[in-house]
Amino acid sequence: MSRIFITGSTDGLGLAAARTLISEGHEVVLHARSRERAAAVSETSAAALGLVIGDLASTEANRSIAEQVNAIGRMDAVIH
């Protein structure tokens, strides 16, 4: 199965994609803009490979997100 990083995966299509891919056996790394939004998906994040936190609107946070994802390892796909 694939290892997939999904941005904006705390609600809407991102969350639906994450849940579907996890249920199909893929390793999914979730993304939340803030700790508060991350807490809202605790059930899904428990089944995910990882969860990274940072606001994509911020250049500084983008670097942090990249570092967090790189620490997890290679991704096969990114859904943005």
Q: What is residue 54's predicted lDDT score, i.e. its pLDDT?
A: 97
Q: What is residue 10's predicted lDDT score, i.e. its pLDDT?
A: 94
Structure confidence by residue, pLDDT tens digits, 14-65: 999 999 999 999 999 999 999 999 999 999 999 999 999 999 999 999 999 9
Q: What is residue 44's predicted lDDT score, i.e. its pLDDT?
A: 94
Q: What pTM value is reported for the model?
A: 0.93
Spatial strand order of the sheet with 77-79 comes to 50-53, 27-32, 3-6, 77-79
Which domains are seen in the chain, by residue range?
Answer: 3-79 (3.40.50.720)
CB 23 within 8 A of CB 29: no
